[in-house]
Structure 1
Amino acid sequence: MTTMKKPTTRRQFLAQTAAVSAAAAIPYHFTSAQESTKSKSKNEQLQFALIGVGGNGTRTAPVGKEFANLVALCDVDADHLRDGNQLLTGGKADTYSDYREVLSRDDIDVVQISTPDHWHAKILIEAMLAGKDAYCEKPLTLTIEEGKLVRRMQKETGRVVQVGTQQRSSFDKFNKALAIIAEGRIGKLKRMVVGIDGGGWSPEIPAVAVPDALDWDRWLGPTPEMPYRYLRHPSKEADKGYTNCHTQFRWWYEHSGGKLTDWGAHHIDIAMLGIAAAGQNNDPVSVDGTAKHAVDFKDGIPVQTDRYNTAQGFDLHVAFADGDVEMSIRHDVDNGILFEGELGRIFVNRGKLVGKPVEDLASNPLPEDAISKIYRGMPMKQNDRPAHWENFMYAIENRVQPISDVHSHMKMLNVCHLAGICCRLGRKINWDQSTEQVVGDELAHSMMSRPYREGYEIDMS
């Protein structure tokens, strides 16, 4: 039987703050292994719900089904909900259009949040207050201030939250690259180049009638009211057209941070972990550089509202408290991370790990525990998405921080958010890590948060 604690309800939360705060203080490093949750019978497994049944939800939920029972699905698009239920459960799961009905169910232990980015923080915070553990897709937040609130609520509720940055669970490439750095094989880290590709482009996209199956108001949620836009792409399927909704929401600052919080949330994450693995200080100090947009900006707000507005290209530079290391973020280099040290260089992405220090492993292999150290001593039985979910289940059963915890994730994601502010304002952004504030720029500081649309504020009751 699972050793997971009974979920904390909203009422219990207020009474148990002291106790769960102590639980949240459990150290990150642990070494005990146990039977994989995957091998448990269906009656022993936890029950989970999928909130957001679009493309990424249907890709990740089948992995989650190996470890927990999928009993409920929620989406504001009735077609997504119907098709997703048939694909994932053969039509057997309970379905909802309002995620609050899912959170109110005492029999649901875990939620997977696979909505568009602008919904992540609100649903996650309310899920933690409802006593649910959560697997939330990246990026965890739309703003820096949301991240502060998410981290505070995780500490106060003691819930386990795994962020969907599954590259942290890739043992054969990313963790091996970090182990090479940690073992000193490239020497002191000097420079990193992070390639994350350019953003999307669109022509003018007309405002059209909302599809019958879509609750557009609820899809927009906390973000500003705007018309639904769609234009058929001349060479793609109908559901891949130009739009400010499904599949293309990442190209709108209203809903996302573009490539900087999409691929950036993966590769900048590994780059910052690399600085830490080298024993150097990865506290960000500033972000500077240039960006290319297809729209004009006034005080950081897009002037044109009928086309994609996130950065199409960028050449950004991040400075850290360790002044000996710097990071470039570019759209015009290979997708992946180049680490340059005093003794050598390596390049890693999802397809390869290359460089002379990698070749030298044939004659001088890493110590047996090198990758285990990077993975915080947790059991490692699989790779990538399955490993990421298995690690999530392990963290739930042991009430410990998972490999992609909200705290280290947000330190990295703040760099992505600062890069986005830099792109929108076209100037250097200075950052004080000790106070987690933009300094010396009132407008940039104000962009650390965004107002929620009336009726869609975070429910902290």
Structure 2
Amino acid sequence: MPRLPQPNRRHFLQGVAAVGTASLLSPATRALAQASPNDRPVFATIGLRNQGWAITSKSFKFADFAALADVDSNVLGANVEKTQQKQSHKPDAFKDYRKILDRKDIDAVMIATPDHWHTKVAVEAMYAGKDVYCEKPLTLTIAEGKLIEKVVKETGRVFQVGTMQRSESGQRFLQAIALIRAGRIGTVKKVTCGINGMSGSPQIPVAPVPEELDWDFWLGPAPKVDYRALPEMRKGYGGGVPLYSNCHYAFRNWHEYSGGKLTDWGAHHVDIACWALGVSDTGPSKITPVEYSLPVEYKDGHPVVHDRYNAATSFKIKVDMPNDVEMIITSEGDNGILFEGTEGRFFVNRGKIVGKPVEDLKDNPLPEGAIEDVYGGPVSANHTANFIEAMHSRKQPISDVWSHNRMLEICHLSNIAMRLDRPLNWDADKRQIVGDDQANAFLSRENRKGYEINM
């Protein structure tokens, strides 16, 4: 049976839930932040570079971190030191995440590994009795999403997907959904998700594996290949690693480990679009690759060149959605979402929400409580706070696995359609591609021997 929270944590979180219903923003967050050390949940983070540290650092005010894990000893050591400075006690450090799952004192894990590791770690964590916060995109394949859903249901664990655009960076997006629900643009006919393209790479040669990196463990479930890197170093976010490689920050550019921009930014904007359209529990009927560019040659859906990035660099995908809504996913134009209806249109992204329906709010505001109705209650200003509140209630948080997987299926199918250079018809009930055995073979992937999921 799953391990229940300790009584003192349970009592504390009951108080959080009671306070959280009192207003739209922040009381629950303040209650979490002001809890005594003995009343805070115990977390561990698996995968620490970039986003791993970002979600950990945002959570110190709500949770204590007992352990960290990473296959890069330099990354692990640096984050152990930073964590000790933040919480005044040193977390245990592990290369092998399984040592964290063996710990009985850890209530939940935060997973920020590369995408191809998400499902294995998440499933094993749930069977070990841990609640899970996992970064987006949640899966590498559609079959992985189905497996995670099955295990969440079987174990009763709470599972938050790290699509923070639904909460802490989401006030404009919640307003956008409220506008649509209030009929401010009439019947929605078209939604365009601008998610940017990416650059290809030069030829990336085989290189010595850095001494601090366990390359075989980093590959894990993915096929065994040589480590590749060029000496030029990345600057800014994701710095400290080669600008071009098949590892670390650059993993998103390879289908072996991720899905390019389609699953990176698509996991944000396609999610909001589906939420706004009210189709988070269904899916499209057809995916058509209108135009796109792949940086290497493909044969039968697989790249034939293995020393360059292989995810799409530019694209325009047409998606036939329920209720005759057309969705366009494009690498052109502004990053954000354009909603078009029979009575108007507006655009929203993380920096702005603009258009006549927005301007009209000055004289015709949304009904009181419209934002809370979208969110399903008081809005958590922090994604971790929402996760911890769900850990108490044993109800799924704002970014649940079911809605996430349904919208991510659109992104996965878009990649498959480009790789095979043809439209795909999708049965949203059976969650299968219609009449295309070759395409259906891309819905799953066999893990490398020795890295199977332990169930």
Q: TM-score, normalised by structure 1?
A: 0.90
Alignment partner of 1:231: what SS? coil
Give the letter for the 2:112 counterpart. S
Which residue pairs with 1:293 in the alignment?
A: 294
Residue of structure 2 equivalent to 1:334: 334
Corresponding letter in the other structure for 1:142: L
Q: Is 2:61 the partner of 1:66?
A: yes
Tell me the CA shift for residue 233 of structure 1: 2.8
Match of 1:352 in 2: 352
Q: Which structure 2 residues correspond to residues 307-346 of structure 1 after superposition, within 5 A?
A: 307-323=308-324, 325-346=325-346
The residue that corresponds to 1:27 in the other structure is none
Preserved contact between residue 191 and residue 340 of structure 2 (Cα < 8 Å): yes
Q: Which residue of 1 aligns with 2:48?
A: 53
**2-structure distance, mates of 1:442, 1:154:** 29
Q: Which amino acid aligns with 1:212?
A: E
Asked if the contact 2:262/2:414 (under 8 Å) is kept, the reply is yes
Determine helix, strand or coil for the equivalent of 2:39.
Answer: coil
> In the TM superposition, what whole-angstrom CA distance separates every residue of 1:222-272 from its partner, at most 9, and x where no partner exists?
000000000023785652420000110000000000100000000010111
Alignment-derived partner of residue 212 in structure 1: 211
* Corresponding letter in the other structure for 2:414: A
User: Is contact 1:200-1:310 (8 Å) kept?
Assistant: no
Instruction: Give the counterpart of 1:399 among 394, 403, 406.
Output: 394
State the match for 1:24 in structure 2. none
1:248 aligned to which of 247, 250, 266: 250
> How far 1:89 moved relative to its partner?
2.2
Tell whether the 8 Å contact from 1:48 to 1:109 is kept in structure 2 after alignment. yes
Name whichever of 138-147 and 80-89 sits farther off.
Answer: 80-89
Aligned equivalents of 1:257 and 1:281: distance in 2? 22
In the alignment, which residue of structure 2 is the partner of 1:428?
Answer: 423
Instruction: Within 5 Å, give how 1:368-447 maps onto structure 2.
Output: 368-377=368-377, 379-382=378-381, 386=382, 388-447=383-442
Matched positions, count: 427
8 Å contact 1:319–1:326 — kept in the other structure? Answer: yes
Residue pair 2:295, 2:313 contacting (<8 A) in 1 also = yes
Distance 1:101 1:156 in 2: 23
Residue type at the aligned position of 2:101: L
- Distance in 2 (alpha carbons) for counterparts of 1:171 and 1:400: 21
| 1:368 Cα offset (Å) | 1.3
Q: Indicate if the aligned counterparts of 2:283 and 2:407 stay in contact, CA closer than 8 A.
A: no
Name the residue aligned to 2:197.
198
Q: Within 1, Cα distance between the matches of 2:84 and 2:186?
A: 50
Q: Hey, what's the Cα distance between the residues in 1 that align with 2:44 and 2:359? A: 44
Conservation of the 8 A alpha-carbon contact between 1:186 and 1:345: yes
Q: CA offsets per residue over residues 363-394 of structure 1, 9 Å max, x none?
A: 111111100011012x2252xxx2x1111111
Cross-structure match for 1:13: none
Using the TM superposition, give the Cα deviation of residue 37 of structure 1 relative to its aligned residue in structure 2, in angstroms.
2.1
Deviates more, 1:136-145 or 1:169-178: 169-178
For the 8 Å contact 1:139–1:413, the answer to whether it is kept is yes
SS in 2 for 1:118: helix
The whole-number CA distance in structure 2 between the counterparts of 1:235 and 1:258 is 18
Partner Cα separation in structure 2 for residue 80 and residue 156 of structure 1: 34
Aligned partners of 2:40 and 2:252: how far apart in 1? 34
Q: Paired residue for 1:172?
A: 171
Structure 1 position 101 matched with structure 2 position 102: no
C-alpha contact 1:421 1:447 (8 A) present in aligned 2? yes
Per-residue deviation, 1:201: 1.5
CA distance in 1, matches of 2:379, 2:243: 40
Contact 1:291 1:426 (8 Å CA) reproduced: no
- Matched with 2:11 is none
Partner Cα separation in structure 2 for residue 235 and residue 242 of structure 1 = 8
Between the aligned partners of 2:175 and 2:242, the Cα distance in structure 1 is 36
Instruction: Using structure 2 for the length normalisation, give the TM-score.
Output: 0.91
Residue pair 1:281, 1:322 contacting (<8 A) in 2 also? no
Give 3-state SS (helix, strand or coil) of 1:256's partner.
coil
Partner amino acid for 2:453?
Answer: I
Secondary structure of the residue that 1:134 maps to in structure 2?
strand
Give the drift of 1:5. Answer: 6.5
Residue identity in the other structure for 2:360: D
Q: How does 1:265-280 map to 2 (within 5 A)?
A: 265-276=267-278
Describe the SS at the equivalent of 1:193. strand
In structure 2, distance between residues paired with 1:40 and 1:271: 36
Structure 1 runs of 4+ with >4 Å offset: 31-35, 234-238
For 2:221 and 2:5, locate their aligned partners in 1 and report how far apart those are by CA, in whole Å.
Answer: 27
SS of 1:400 mapped into structure 2: coil
Q: Distance in 1 between matches of 2:343 and 2:160?
A: 35
- Which deviations, in whole Å up to 9, do the C-alpha atoms of 1:204-228 show, x marking residues without a partner? 0000110011000000000000000
Distance 1:123 1:429, change over 3 A: same
Q: 1:127 is matched with which residue?
A: 125
**Unaligned stretches of 5+ residues in structure 1:** 9-30
Distance in 1 of aligned mates of 2:185 and 2:106: 47
Q: Secondary structure at the match of 1:273?
A: helix
Asked whether the 8 Å contact 2:43–2:108 carries over to 1, the reply is yes
CA distance in 2, matches of 1:234, 1:372: 45
Gapped runs of 5+ residues in structure 2? 7-19
Counterpart of 2:446 in structure 1 is: 451
Work out which of the residue numbers 149, 153, 157 in structure 2 matches 1:159.
157
Distance between the aligned counterparts of 1:408 and 1:147, measured in 2? 11
8 Å Cα contact 1:301-1:424 kept in structure 2:
yes
d(CA) in 2 for partners of 1:212, 1:147: 34
* One-letter amino acid matched to 1:223: A
| Aligned-pair identity (%) | 50
The Cα offsets for residues 93-128 of structure 1, whole Å up to 9 and x where unpaired, read as: 100000100000000001000000000011001111
Distance 2:176 2:281 in 1: 18
Does structure 1 conserve the Cα–Cα contact (< 8 Å) formed by 2:172 and 2:353? yes
